Amino acid sequence: MITSANLGEPLTLIGEAVYARCLSAMKDQRVAASKILSGPKAKPMAGDKAAFVEDIRRALYASKIVSYAQGFALMRAAAAQYKWNLNYGGVALMWRGGCIIRSAFLGDIKKAFDKKAGLVNLMLYPFFRSALRRSQGGWRRTVSRAVKLGIPCPAFATALAYYDGYRAERLPANLLQAQRDYFGAHTYERTDKPRGQFFHTNWTGAGGATTASTYTV
C-alpha cells in the first residue's frame, strides 16, 4: 500500500481488506461500541435466497477482477518507475503454479496480456469487461443491501467504488483544485478550457491576485 501511494496507483481493495482485519482485531472496542452506536439491525433473510446467493457470487467475482486489475496496474506503474521488464502473463501463471492464489481466470489474465501486451487495465480487456457487465447488477444489489442492513462489506464496496470511479469521465475530486485555490490560491483548471490552463479566483473579495503553485489531479 505504501508503494501504491508513492506511485499514485490505487490499491484500494487490498487496503480495505487489510484494514478490515485491523478493525476485526479491535474486539473489545467493537463490543463496547455495539452498545452505544446506533444503526439498522440485520433482519432474517427474506425473498429469493438462491437469487441473493447468486448476487453475492457475482459481487465476489467482480471484486476479484478489480483486485487483480489493481494489482497488475500497480506492477505496470512500478515497472515504468523502476525500469523493470515484467512478463505479466508469466506472473499470473507463476501465481497459479505455486501459490495459494489459484483463481481459474489467471489463465485468462495471461491470454489478455499475450494478446495485448500494452494493456493498461485488465477491466478494459473484452473478457473481463464482459464479466463485469454481467456481474454488475448482483454486485450493486449486494452492496446496497448490505448498506441498508448495516452490514460492512468493505472489499465489495471499495471494489465497486473503484470501478465506478475508473469509468467516470469526470470525478468530484476535480473540485479539490477549486477548494485549494479558495484557501491557498493554488489555481485550478476549468472544464470549459484546455487542460494545462490555470485560473485563480478571489473567492471572498478579501484576497489578492497572487497565486501559489499549480496542482494537477
Q: Map the chain to HEC letters.
A: CHHHHHHCCCCHHHHHHHHHHHHHHCHHHHHHHHCCCCCCCCCCCCCCHHHHHHHHHHHHHHHHHHHHHHHHHHHHHHHHHHCCCCCHHHHHHHHHHHCCCCCCCHHHHHHHHHHCCCCCCHHHCHHHHHHHHHHHHHHHHHHHHHHHHCCCCHHHHHHHHHHHHHCCCCCHHHHHHHHHHHHHCCCEECCCCCCCCEECCCCCCCCCCCCCCCCCC
Local mean pLDDT, 10-residue blocks, the chain (217 residues): 92 95 97 95 80 96 96 96 93 74 82 94 96 97 94 96 95 83 86 90 73 53
Q: How far apart are CA 170 and CA 217, in angstroms?
A: 11
User: Which own/partner pairs from 74-81 qualify as long-range (CB within 8 Å, at least 24 positions apart)?
Assistant: 74/3, 74/4, 74/7, 74/9, 74/11, 76/120, 77/7, 77/8, 77/9, 78/3, 78/7, 81/7
Task: Give the amino acid at 168.
Answer: A
Which residues lie across from 217 on neighbouring strands? Answer: none
Question: Does CATH place domain 170-217 in 1.20.5.320?
Answer: yes
Query: Which of 16, 14, 20 is CA-nearest to residue 68?
Result: 14
Residue that is written with C-alpha cell 463490543 in the block: 31
Question: Does CATH place domain 2-166 in 1.10.1040.10?
Answer: yes
Domain boundaries along the sequence of the chain: 2-166, 170-217
Q: How far apart are CA 142 and CA 136, in angstroms?
A: 10
Q: How far apart are CA 74 and CA 10, in angstroms?
A: 8
pLDDT for 134 equals 97
Query: Which of 15, 64, 74, 90 is CA-nearest to residue 163?
Result: 64
pLDDT for 172 equals 81
Report pTM.
0.85
